[in-house]
Structure formats: C-alpha cells, structure tokens
C-alpha cells in the first residue's frame, strides 16, 4: 500500500507541474495576443475576451495547488474552446484558420489531457457548432462565407475534423493504455524490490532482523563503541531439542514455537538492541552495554523468560534453550563472524553442561574447537590408512555363562598418540559425513569377522553393530548391508543392528520404509540403552524389534536399589509378553549377575566376563570357554 501511495504521489506531482507549465504558457500567449490586438487596433470586444480568458487562467493556478486536477482540466479546455469558437464565429466561419488548424489541434490537446468522456463532449460540441454555422451559412448566404461553399464542402471539413479527432483519440487511448501498463510494471518492480529488501533485512517467519541486517548494524555498533567505554555482546541462543518438537508434533507447531521465542526475546531488549534469527532454531541478541554490566544476570533472565511453557494449538510445549555469550570492546574490535563463532562455541558448551544454561566464551573453548577439528581430520586419515580396528565384547548367556554373541566396538589403535577413545571421537563426528563412512566400515568388518568365526567352528555366533541416525538420513543403508552380507557370504540372521530409541521415534516415512526392507533381509534389530529415551512401546511391534538392551544405569547396583530392581523386572516381564530377547549392559559384579538370573534375563554384557577384545583375542577367549 505504501508503494502504491508513493507512486500516486509522484504521478500527481508530475501532473501538477505540467498543468502549471501549460497554464503559464497559455498566459504568455494570451498576453501576446492582447498586445498585438491593441497595437493592430482590433475591436475592443476581442481585447476584453482575451483579458477574461487570461483572468480565468490565473484563477486556475490556486486550484492546481489545491490538487483540483479534474476541475482545472475542464475549465482550461472549455474556456479556451469558447474563446476559439467566438473568433471562429465572428472572423470567417468555416474557411477560417480556426477550422483547418485550431480545432484539430484542440481536439488533440483534449484527447491528451482530458478523459474520454470529456473528449467526446468537446468533439460533439465542435461538430454541432460547425454543422449549425454551415447550414446557416448555406441557407442565408452569409457574406462571411464564399458563395461557392455548400454541403459538400461542409462534409469535407467535418470528415477532416473527425479524422483528426479520431486519430488523436486512438493515439491517446493507446498511449494511456501503455502508460497504465507501464505504471503497473513499475509498481510490480517496486513491490518486488521492496519485498526482496524486506527478505534481505528481516526474517519472513518471525519478523526479526536477518543475519545480513545484523551484520550491517554491527558495523554501526563498532563505530559507537570506539567513541565510548561500552562493549558489544553477542548472546547466541539455541532452542534445546527443537528437532524433537518438529518430529513429535509437526513443522507448523515448530514454526509457532519459533515465533513465540521471537516475541519473548523482543520483550527483553531495549534501545538499539538487535534480535536476529540466524537460521533454524538459532537466535542472536546483539547488545551494547557498559563493560561492568551484569551480563550473567541478564542471561539468566533471558533463559527464564524463554523457557516458559508455550500453549500452541492446544498443546502445552516445554521449551528450554542454551545461551552462549561473547563480547568485544573498542580496544579489540573483532569481525562479526569471529565474534559470532565465539558465542556459538560458548553456546555448545552450555549444551554440554546439561542444556537450559548459559556459558561465557573463554580461550579454552577456542582450543577445544581447534582440537575437535584436528581429531576429525586425523580420524579421516586413520580410516583411510587402516589405523582403526574392530573389537568384540562378548554377550553371555545369563543362565549358562557361555558366549552366544558379541557387540562390535570401534577402536583407534594406531597413530593415536593422545589415545583418543571412542567416547570422545564418536560424539565429535556424529554431525559430519565421517560418521556414515565409519559406520559403513564397521558393517563391512563385522560381517567379515562373523564369517571368520563361523569358519573357525563357532557357527551360532552373531555380531551386533551400532547404527547412527545419520546413516538413515544419508540413505542407502539397506544397499550397504545387502552388499556386505553378499560379499562376506554371511547369513543375514547373524548380523544385528543396534538402534537408539531416538531413531525409531522419528516419524520419517523414508526411514521407516528402509528399516522395514532391512528387516526383510533377515537382519535382527535391537534397541540400545532401552529405558533412557522415549520408551514408546508402540515402535517395538511397529518395527518388529527382536531384542531390548537394558541400559547400564539400571543394572548398576541392582542388588542394592529397589527402584532399579523394579524397573528391570518390569522391562523383562514386558519383553517376555512381546516375545523379545533381553540383554543387560554393564554387568560388573556377581551380585548383579545373580539378580539378573533371578529375573530371567537372557544375556549379559560387561567387564564381569570380558572387556572388548581384538578379533584374535575374542577367538582365543571363546575357544577357551568351550
């Protein structure tokens, strides 16, 4: 609407300026005509008429300034038409120059500045006047007209006048249509340009500043802190478990959560503070504050307000967020991206501390970030150079104590001077493509090792491998498993996939279909760390799960903890009812083993029986246990 109003204002301004120019020019012409009439001693009536017309032109100027455009055009046309008609009437009739030149020109002017309706009225007025004067002349033999003039001559004049008028009218209609189309195109261009500008500077979902706009404001902020003792602070906020909200509800609900967060953040800022949505569920608050400002108190207030439950589409949604804070002052102004990176690192540390917390940047974070990148780079080389090895940890029959299967666990055994464990490097690569490459290698090695065990006489041993969510997102997992089974000639029933509850909880049709196809290959499925996630019993039958692995947190001190005992007992009873096998993780004492026997657990895994072993070590261990 503002664009339309702006264009209309510009058009009106141009029309007003042109009308003023036309009126001033007409006044000059009238003044010249008055002077010539006086010098040539024309009749006084002629001079009076010209003076009257000039006075009317002067009267039009204040009307133009008052934006009476239509009225001005009407008065201008009719006043000059009447003056021209007067001279036509008294100065020569049909054979005067008025008919041959002035009337056609006047019709053209009328077509240009007036509406089609006004043009037609002017045209019929002129034609009627000509017809009347012509008929009167022919009948009364007026001396003002040459005696040879007749009806044929009248028709020729009218045809010439009509042709001139029609040509002017059509040309003007086409020109007005072209101008109208041009105005529409200009309006569309301006609207599109403004929309693009809006999208560049503001987030379309929340209305907050965009990253681009934030960068522009940051440049102004740096100029400001150079002149005083303030500092710029970046508060990087990320919503905790936002993907789970999208997965459990839907993306529309997730969008409403983002809008709710945005409105809450806007209520917390003051003055020139900027709130920006960087991407997804990431927000940035850019503030200028004194160096001694209590930023910790502010961060607590932000988390307290953001973390209130939100009622969206009749759902009460719990929201928490993690906040990272980084600052710079005028003595050491940093680039926007560098300061943002610092705040981002601080935010991730807040998540590592348990989420719904705030954390300030320090140099240790930069060191940890560099170390993370270095580990990922070296791990890629380790995979390429065959510096990784697959270890096997036995799974024991709780009743007999015999080895029935094993879990494949990756180890970085060569060119690893810092002795970096899987507990450290696996979380680092979960958000990278390397986790998929590593997962593919594990499946391949597990199939080969399992086949070697069968060839050494242990035909009933199966091996389980851990699968990450990223492998499903990447796609093609079914093809990888099928290829490695065929390559190793391993029967599919001896390969078990260990999945987390989070993977199964995702309502992703492609993943569900692929998991179903993998199950059709004959591969068995196990739920790892059962009881620590969503514990939704529906997916146990939906995905045809074969085994539940009870998390070690419930097994530790089960002989002392009545709560743990009750939880494990309930899980085992439920599994029995569903026909599922039960594996207990982290068994470390004989007392825990005795309780698991009492409860009827199928298998156990832990340091009580064996730590993870190399493939050769596992073969010796299983051979010795026979």
Nearest to 379, CA basis, from 423, 429, 442: 429
Question: Residue 287: beta bridge partners?
Answer: 233
Backbone phi, then psi, for 467, in 5-degree steps?
-115, 135
Burial of 304 (0-12, 13-18, 19+ CB in 10 A): exposed
Cα gap 513→126, rounded to integer Å: 83
Residue whose structure tokens are 């954390």: 359
pLDDT grade for 42, boundaries at 50, 70 and 90: confident
pLDDT digits (tens, 9 = 90+) for 238-263: 998 888 788 778 888 889 989 999 99
pLDDT at position 57:
84
User: How large is the C-alpha radius of gyration of the chain?
Assistant: 45
User: Are 467 and 514 a contacting pair, CB within 8 Å?
Assistant: no
pLDDT grade for 572, boundaries at 50, 70 and 90: very high
> Which residue blocks in 91-150 are alpha helix, DSSP H?
97, 103-113, 116-140
DSSP-derived pairing of the beta strands 282-290 and 274-279: antiparallel
Cα gap 481→527, rounded to integer Å: 18
Share of the chain above pLDDT 70, in %: 87
pLDDT at position 373:
85
User: Are 478 and 497 a contacting pair, CB within 8 Å?
Assistant: no
Domain boundaries along the sequence of the chain: 15-174, 211-361, 372-625
CA distances from 382 to 387, 440, 442, 460 (A): 5, 15, 14, 32
pLDDT digits (tens, 9 = 90+) for 482-537: 999 999 999 999 999 998 877 766 656 777 788 889 999 999 999 888 876 555 56
Residue whose structure tokens are 């017809």: 131
Cα gap 422→419, rounded to integer Å: 10
pLDDT digits (tens, 9 = 90+) for 601-618: 999 999 999 999 999 999
Q: 372-625 in CATH: which number?
A: 3.20.20.450
pLDDT digits (tens, 9 = 90+) for 527-564: 888 876 555 566 677 778 899 999 999 999 999 999 99
Cα gap 92→104, rounded to integer Å: 17
- Per mean pLDDT, which of 142-146, 167-171, 288-292, 404-408 is the most reliable? 404-408
Q: Which CATH number among 3.40.50.300, 3.30.43.10, 3.30.70.270, 3.30.1360.30 corresponds to the domain 211-361?
A: 3.30.70.270
Kindly state the average pLDDT of the residues 11-28.
80
pLDDT at position 50:
81
323: enclosing H helix or E strand? strand 321-329
pTM: 0.58
- DSSP codes, 423-460: HHHHHHHTTSTHHHHHHHHHHHHHHHHHHHHHHTT-TT
Residue whose structure tokens are 């060569």: 414
pLDDT at position 143:
45
């Amino acid at each position: 609407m503002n664009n339309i109003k702006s264009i209309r204002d510009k058009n009106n301004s141009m029309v007003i300026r042109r009308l003023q120019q036309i009126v001033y020019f007409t006044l000059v012409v009238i003044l010249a005509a008055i002077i010539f009439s006086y010098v040539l001693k024309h009749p006084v009536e002629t001079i009076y008429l010209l003076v009257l017309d000039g006075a009317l032109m002067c009267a039009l100027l204040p009307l133009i300034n008052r934006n009476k455009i239509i009225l001005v055009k009407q008065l201008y046309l009719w006043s000059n038409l009447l003056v021209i008609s007067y001279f036509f009437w008294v100065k020569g009739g049909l054979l005067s120059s008025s008919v041959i030149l002035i009337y056609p020109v006047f019709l053209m002017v009328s077509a240009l500045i007036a509406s089609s309706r006004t043009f037609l009225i002017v045209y019929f007025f002129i034609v009627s006047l000509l017809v009347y004067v012509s008929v009167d002349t022919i009948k009364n033999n007026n001396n003002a007209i040459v005696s040879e003039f007749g009806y044929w001559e009248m028709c020729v004049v009218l045809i010439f006048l009509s042709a001139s008028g029609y040509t002017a009218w059509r040309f003007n209609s086409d020109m007005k249509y072209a101008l109208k189309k041009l105005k529409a195109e200009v309006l569309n261009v301006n609207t599109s340009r403004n929309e693009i500008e809006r999208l560049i500077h503001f987030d379309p979902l929340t209305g907050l500043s965009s990253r681009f706009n934030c960068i522009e404001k940051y440049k102004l902020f740096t100029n400001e802190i150079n002149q005083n003792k303030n500092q710029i602070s970046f508060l990087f906020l990320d919503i905790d478990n936002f993907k789970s909200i999208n997965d459990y509800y839907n993306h529309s609900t997730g969008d409403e959560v983002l809008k709710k967060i945005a409105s809450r953040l806007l209520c917390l800022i003051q003055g020139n503070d900027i709130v920006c949505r960087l991407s997804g569920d990431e927000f940035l608050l850019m503030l200028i504050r004194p160096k001694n400002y209590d930023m910790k108190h502010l961060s607590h207030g932000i988390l307290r307000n953001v973390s209130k439950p939100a009622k969206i589409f009749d759902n009460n949604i719990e929201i928490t967020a993690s906040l990272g804070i980084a600052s710079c002052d005028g003595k050491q102004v940093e680039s926007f991206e560098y300061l943002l990176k610092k705040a981002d690192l601080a935010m991730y540390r807040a998540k590592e501390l348990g989420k719904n917390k705030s954390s300030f940047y320090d140099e240790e974070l930069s060191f940890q970030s560099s170390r993370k990148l270095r580990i990922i780079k070296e791990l890629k080389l380790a995979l390429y150079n065959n510096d990784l090895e697959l270890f096997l940890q036995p799974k024991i029959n709780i009743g007999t104590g015999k080895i029935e299967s094993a879990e494949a666990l990756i180890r970085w055994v060569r060119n690893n001077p810092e002795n970096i464990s899987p507990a450290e490097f696996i979380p680092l690569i979960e958000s990278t493509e390397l986790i998929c490459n590593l997962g593919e290698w594990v499946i391949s090695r597990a199939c080969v090792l399992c086949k070697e065990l069968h060839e050494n006489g242990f035909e009933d041993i199966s091996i389980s491998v851990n699968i990450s969510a990223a492998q499903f997102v990447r796609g093609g997992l079914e093809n990888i498993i099928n290829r490695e089974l065929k390559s190793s000639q391993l029967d599919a029933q001896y390969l078990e996939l260990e999945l987390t509850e989070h993977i199964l909880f995702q309502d992703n049709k492609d993943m569900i279909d692929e998991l179903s196809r993998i199950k059709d290959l004959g591969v068995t499925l196990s739920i790892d760390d059962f009881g620590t996630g969503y514990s939704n019993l529906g997916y146990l039958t939906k995905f045809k799960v074969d085994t539940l692995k009870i998390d070690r947190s419930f097994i530790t001190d089960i002989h002392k903890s009545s709560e743990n005992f009750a939880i494990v007992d309930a899980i085992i009873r439920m599994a029995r009812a569903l026909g599922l096998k039960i594996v207990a993780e982290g068994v470390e004492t004989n007392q825990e083993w005795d309780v698991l026997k009492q409860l009827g657990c199928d298998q156990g895994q832990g340091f009580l029986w064996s730590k993870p072993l190399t493939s050769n070590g596992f073969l010796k261990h299983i051979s010795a246990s026979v």
